[in-house]
Amino acid sequence: MKIVRTRSQSDDISYGGVEPEGIRLYRGSPFVAWEPTEAVIPFDEARLLSPTIPTKVVAIGRNYAAHATEHEVEVPDEPIMFIKPSTSVIGPAAAIRIPPHSQRVEHEAELAIVIGRVARNVAVEEAASYVLGYTVGQDVTARDLQRRDGQWTRGKGFDTFCPLGPAIETEFDPKEGQRITCRVNDEMRQEGVLTDMVFGPAELIAFISGVMTLLPGDVILTGTPEGVGPLNDGDLLETEIEGLGLLRNPVST
């Protein structure tokens, strides 16, 4: 199933399920309890929002060997984690804003895991049962500030620096090695396959949930393949994962 969150023309926000003829609206939320309604809205009337409202986004650095190499750093022995604030999350078609503080904002295309239930000290073998599904994500980064600050809160944490969507796919197995790509104004910037991740989703859920409790709706960004590059005012950023769809965000100041 593909789960979306939409804003109607009368500004009502609800979760929905993608069906052949449109988006069926649901009462409630997939993270607690929900049920389908009779309402189905046509795709062209749906304004999609981020498909989840996480309490936190836990992101992983250097999780593709080739990306670590392009930054001349070692592939780590255990996952390097950091947090992007929930206020950095935006949905499909929403603008990424280049802050005046940075001269170098970059894209990082990433697979996003959406947690479905409370996860604490989860074993690797049990990790899949804590996943609601997967979506496409971006770990937008002010590279100059990330380097200058010596830690990553500011460089990774600006409002709009975490586009997510368009949908949460519940039937998705990244072990199949789907392609992840990132284009800027039709120029291919990043291309990778999900099986090139150093630490896979199950290992990441086990590792992170041993440190902090993951709550329903929380997101894990799983790291980016090589090819990160600059974003500038007026660009169109397109991030795509086979089987998960296309996340499109304009860039502006």
Which residues contact Mg ion by CB under 5 A? 108, 139, 224
- Residue 6 vs 224, nearer CB to Mg ion: 224
- Residue 50 vs 63, nearer CB to Mg ion: 63
Least distance from Mg ion to the Cβ atom of residue 137, Å: 9
The residue number with the shortest CB distance to Mg ion is 139
Q: Give bridge partners of residue 164 from the DSSP assignment.
A: 137
HEC string of the chain equals CEEEEEECCCCCEEEEEEECCEEEEEEECCCCCEEEEEEEECHHHCEEECCCCCCCEEEEECCEHHHHHHCCCCCCCCCEEEEECHHHEECCCCCEECCCCCCCEEECEEEEEEECCCECCCCHHHHHHHEEEEEEEECCEEHHHHHHHCCCHHHHHCCCCEEEEEEEECCCCHHHCCEEEEEECCEEEEEEEHHHECCCHHHHHHHHHCCCCECCCCEEECCCCCCCEEECCCCEEEEEECCCEEEEEEEEC
Least distance from Mg ion to the Cβ atom of residue 108, Å: 4
Largest CA distance in the chain: 54
Least distance from Mg ion to the Cβ atom of residue 147, Å: 14
Least distance from Mg ion to the Cβ atom of residue 221, Å: 6
Least distance from Mg ion to the Cβ atom of residue 141, Å: 7
114 in Cβ contact with 95 (< 8 Å)? no
- Residue 25 vs 197, nearer CB to Mg ion: 197
- Residue 5 vs 143, nearer CB to Mg ion: 143
- Residue 139 vs 240, nearer CB to Mg ion: 139
- Residue 126 vs 191, nearer CB to Mg ion: 191
Least distance from Mg ion to the Cβ atom of residue 46, Å: 29
